[in-house]
Amino acid sequence: GAVVSQHPSWVICKSGTSVKIECRSLDFQATTMFWYRQFPKQSLMLMATSNEGSKATYEQGVEKDKFLINHASLTLSTLTVTSAHPEDSSFYICSAREVARSIQYFGAGTRLSVL
């Protein structure tokens, strides 16, 4: 299957700092990428959908100024958690839609710990 690379896999940061997470589709072009948040023992919660070259669409309750999403190319989307606070600590997962087979492939996730 198609490969999606997500980096970093784990990041620890101080409260008030910003953290950037990258999501890359390695062997296919992804016009649409998705960002999820997953709490322990729960399902995936969609945060936002990003389409290449346009502004991301955020789900209700997700602060767009706090979770900045950029999808500048067909293979790269980034999520920046601005002014992170301990309550932002979570597991963040990206996925990319492979158009040919209409399947979402997932990155390995990023564990964010805010001290």
Partner 1 sequence: AQTVTQSQPEMSVQEAETVTLSCTYDTSESDYYLFWYKQPPSRQMILVIRQEAYKQQNATENRFSVNFQKAAKSFSLKISDSQLGDAAMYFCAYRSSFMDSNYQLIWGAGTKLIIKP
User: Site residues (CB under 8 A) for partner 1?
Assistant: 1, 32, 34, 38, 42-44, 46, 49, 51, 57, 91, 93, 95, 97, 102-106, 108-109
Would you say 80 or 104 has its CB closer to partner 1? 104
Would you say 68 or 109 has its CB closer to partner 1? 109
Whether residue 105 contacts residue 5, with contact meaning beta carbons closer than 8 Å, is answered with: no
Distance, in Å, from the CA atom of 24 to the CA atom of 30, rounded to the nearest integer, reads 9
- Name the amino acid, one letter, at 92: Y
Would you say 15 or 103 has its CB closer to partner 1? 103
